[in-house]
Amino acid sequence: MSATHLRVLLPAAQIHSRIAEMGAEIDRDYAPSEPVYLIGVLKGACIFLADLARAMKTPTRLEFIGISSYGRGKTSSGQVRITKDLDVPVEGHHVILVEDILDTGVTLTYLVKMMAQRKPKTLRVATFLDKPERRQSPVKVDYVGFQIPDEFVVGYGLDYAEDYRNLRDLCVLEQ
Ligand code: IMP
Ligand code: MG
């Protein structure tokens, strides 16, 4: 087995100050009179979603959708499969899809299309990370935490074979 090494790319403090800004950006776009449904894509987005929701003053409802596209490796299978659907209808509500990372764009393309069919009042996308170099399928995102280079990252919710999700910093996994 080759040794693995973690190199910090985004320290926790930098992540938290950016998420505070993102929360303020989102608050400017919505009226406080109606809740915004934050739909977290399991499992990677759960930590980002928890921090983003608390950075917002707009009332939120938290929902989750489970998908599998990556298996245990570092490259996408290119196939998206729903493993857990929403528990509630979102028709007529403001929805923000909350993702950990936008990579090839295959996952979000699929999810945006699927969510649009459920007739939300508005539909936007927030992603913690964006790796623009890897895009295969163009996706319009409304809120981006950080653009990062084409490196495999773990921590702050992101995993490699289910490990490293609880790291506070975002790290590059070097092998
Ligand atoms: P896409 O469909 O290629 O855009 O892939 C998005 C999904 O791939 C994300 O939700 C992640 O689960 C996974 N992914 C892509 N890049 C990374 C990475 O660098 N680290 C961990 N997971 C990643
Ligand atoms: Mg993943």
**Alpha-carbon gap, residue 5 to 172, rounded angstroms:** 8
At residue 169, the pLDDT reads 98
**Alpha-carbon gap, residue 105 to 170, rounded angstroms:** 20
Question: What would the DSSP string read from start to end of 25-65?
Answer: HHHHHS-TTS-EEEEEEETTTHHHHHHHHHH--S-EEEEEE
Q: Mean per-residue pLDDT for 120-146?
A: 96
Q: Mean per-residue pLDDT for 124-136?
A: 96
- Looking at residue 112, which CATH number applies to its domain? 3.40.50.2020
Instruction: Give the Å distance between the CA of 33 and the centre of ligand 1.
Output: 34
At residue 133, the pLDDT reads 94
Confidence at 94, pLDDT banded by 50, 70, 90: very high
User: Is residue 159 a part of any domain in this protein?
Assistant: no
The tally of domains found in the chain comes to 1
At residue 52, the pLDDT reads 98
**Alpha-carbon gap, residue 112 to 52, rounded angstroms:** 20
* Tokens describing residue 60: 């939120």
Q: What is the pTM of this model?
A: 0.94
User: Is residue 156 a part of any domain in this protein?
Assistant: no
Q: Per-residue pLDDT for 71 more than 70? A: no
Domain limits for position 102? 13-148
Which ligand 1 atom is nearest residue 99's CA?
10
